A and B are shown apart, each in its own frame.
Chain A
Amino acid sequence: MDSIEAMYQENILDHYKNPRNAGKIDKASVHHHEYNPLCGDEIEMFLVIKDKKVADVKFHGRGCAISQASASMLTEEIKGKSIEDLKKLTKENILELLGISLSPVRLKCALLSLDTLKNSILIFEKYIKK
């Protein structure tokens, strides 16, 4: 398998073409939009948080396959997890989900969803929770 087929392996293309948890949630506890102006990748994430856990999550975005597949995979991963668990997520967890290694430039694509999630939680804890 050459490296390009490794990067665009079936599960990544599957998540890109059929994103899980795609859409918006009208009554989300928090929603947040991140944008990478350098390449135009966009992700908006909607979280419903109950009892300090993710009761539901949806995302809406556009951009390259890596950015959108990583968002799709991440939303699957975090459903039911506690806020404290989400805070512990790292770059390595995202790469593990994707199952590939990436150049520094493409890493930014992969990590946009994690940035969106982390900033959603920051906003939730700082401005919404009380």
Chain B
Amino acid sequence: MELNATFKMPSTKPLMDVEQIRKNFPILQRKVHNKPLVYFDNAATSQKPKQVIEAIGFYYKNYNANIHRSIHELGEEATEKYEEAHKKTADFINADSYQNIVFTKNTTESLNLLAYSLTAKLKKNDEIVVSQMEHHSNFVPWQQLAKQRGLRLKFIEIDKDGNLDKNSIKKNITKKTKIVSLTHISNVLGTINPVEKIAKIAHENGALMVVDGAQAAPHMPVDVKKLDADFYAFSGHKMLGPTGIGVLYGKKELLEEMQPFLYGGEMIREVRFDDTKFNDLPWKFEAGTMNIAEAIGLSAAIDYLNKIGMDNVQKHDRELVEYAMGQLKGIDGIKIYGPDERDAVISFNLGNIHAHDVAQVLDSEGVAIRAGHHCCMPLMSVLGVAATARASFYLYNTEKEIDVFVNALNKVNRVFA
């Protein structure tokens, strides 16, 4: 990161030129049902700029080789780029070194790695704390490992606005807590959780702080040191990168203590018939031939985001969501879930119309949103709904597209009137 996010300095970077940015995304040219595509499903996955698509193609066309073990030019080039991707990712979240960055296939795998490795040392009845708003990927791994290992899983409740309930935070994080695992931004409510404060409470109680950053890393400057997160997980594909590449950041001393999650080639230093010595960080967690092209794609995505500046991305996304909230409030029968101050995600229902029907009518107008439980069935039960519709924005979206979306929602109301 060029600017250390701990300093609140005015950005010297030029503001974003969204029209120029849109030209970098080939898919935004396409039509859906003869209408221009309005892509509002960014919380599920983002679109990719040609810089990312081309970086992946360039690797396959020019220096495709396996990494680390090849004593030849192609192998050395690929290794250099693969290692550089770790370095760039470290800088992107203000981590000390490439050694803090483990590549996985996605956030889910990063969190599974933690759930398996961190719970191995816990004792019966030790407690793990998550919240009611977690994605299944930050919920099911802890739930299942708790069952297998006799641990207790506790939940921080949410208040009526969709923020974490302050009393519930205090009540649940205690001296019995060994791990707190929390989403940075809710993929349903858009809630931005006070991770820094909760990390402090976790540490005062001797617990580790794990953060699911899948929705945050793409949309805001993330500084793992300022947050004092012990672990931070996110995915490449939600931040302009390809699918198949995820990140796990960890504090070095913690990663060093941890047992590897996957065993095999590359993660070893020396293998004998009776024992194995593991490789240095981060390679001891990267078993087998890794997702090299995807790591190079992620690297290109980070370059792209850095060029725009994450401060600018955040500002743009927050302005869009504010505009959208204002426009949506005028629609008949709309119910919006979550707090007013939020990131670029809006979940809603339209009267008694099922979210699938809403999404289907919007699709006919070229507007892509998501409908369902968003991998948050426990949260849906807290909200008392089976499903919601969800629109989520990113750096290439515009206010004009939100107007198209609002018109399409009015059409939904007309169809079902």
Distance between B347 CB and nearest chain A CB, rounded to angstroms = 14
A81 to B66, CA, bound (A): 65
A65's nearest neighbour on chain B, judged by CB, is B357
* Number of chain B residues whose Cβ lies closer than 8 Å to a Cβ of chain A: 20
Q: How far is the CB of B386 from chain A (nearest CB, A)?
A: 2
A39 located at the interface, meaning its Cβ lies under 8 Å from any Cβ of chain B in the complex: yes
**Cα–Cα, bound, A38→B415 (Å):** 24
- Say whether A4 contacts B386, CB under 8 Å: no
**A-contacting residues, B352-393, CB 8 Å:** 353-357, 360-361, 363-364, 371-373, 377, 380, 385-387
Q: Are B357 and A64 in contact (CB under 8 A)?
A: yes
A109 at the interface (CB under 8 A from B): yes
User: Are A64 and B364 in contact, CB atoms less than 8 angstroms apart?
Assistant: no
Known contacts A38-B373, A65-B354, A65-B357; is-contact A4 B387 (Cβ 8 Å) = no
Q: Give the tally of cross-chain contacts (CB within 8 A).
A: 55
A39 x B356 contact (CB < 8 A): yes
Beyond A13-B415, A64-B356, is A39–B371 a contact (Cβ under 8 Å)?
Answer: yes
Chain B nearest CB from A54 CB (Å) reads: 28
Task: Give Cα distance in the complex from A127 to B415, angstroms.
Answer: 43
Contacts of B364 in A (CB 8 A): 2-4
Task: Give, as a whole number of angstroms, the nearest-CB distance from A82 to chain B.
Answer: 33
CB distance from B381 to the nearest CB of A (A): 11
With A37-B377, A38-B372, A38-B373 as known contacts, state yes or no: A13 contacts B416, CB within 8 Å. yes
Asked if A4 and B360 sit within 8 Å, CB to CB, the answer is: yes
Smallest CB gap from B415: residue in A: A8
Tell me how far the C-beta of B56 lies from the nearest C-beta in chain A, rounded to whole angstroms. 29
Question: B31 in the interface, Cβ–Cβ < 8 Å?
Answer: no
User: Is B33 in the interface zone, CB < 8 Å from A?
Assistant: yes
The answer on a CB contact under 8 Å between B416 and A39 is no
With known contacts A39-B355, A39-B387, A65-B354, A106–B416 Cβ distance under 8 A: no
Collect the chain A residues with CB atoms within 8 Å of residue B353's CB. 65
In the complex, chain A residues 22-43 whose Cβ is within 8 Å of any chain B Cβ: 37-42
A83 located at the interface, meaning its Cβ lies under 8 Å from any Cβ of chain B in the complex: no
- Find chain A residues with CB under 8 A from B387 CB: 39-40
Question: Does A78 interact with chain B (Cβ within 8 Å)?
Answer: no
Min CB distance B415 to A, Å, is 5
In this assembly, does A86 line the interface, its C-beta being within 8 Å of a C-beta of chain B? no
Given contacts A7-B360, A39-B355, A40-B380, 6 further A-B contacts (CB under 8 A): A4-B361, A4-B363, A13-B415, A39-B386, A40-B354, A62-B386
Binding site for B on A (CB under 8 A): 2-5, 7-8, 13, 37-42, 62-67, 106, 109
14 contacts between A and B (CB under 8 A): A3-B33, A4-B363, A5-B415, A8-B416, A13-B415, A39-B372, A39-B373, A40-B354, A41-B354, A41-B386, A63-B386, A64-B354, A66-B357, A106-B356
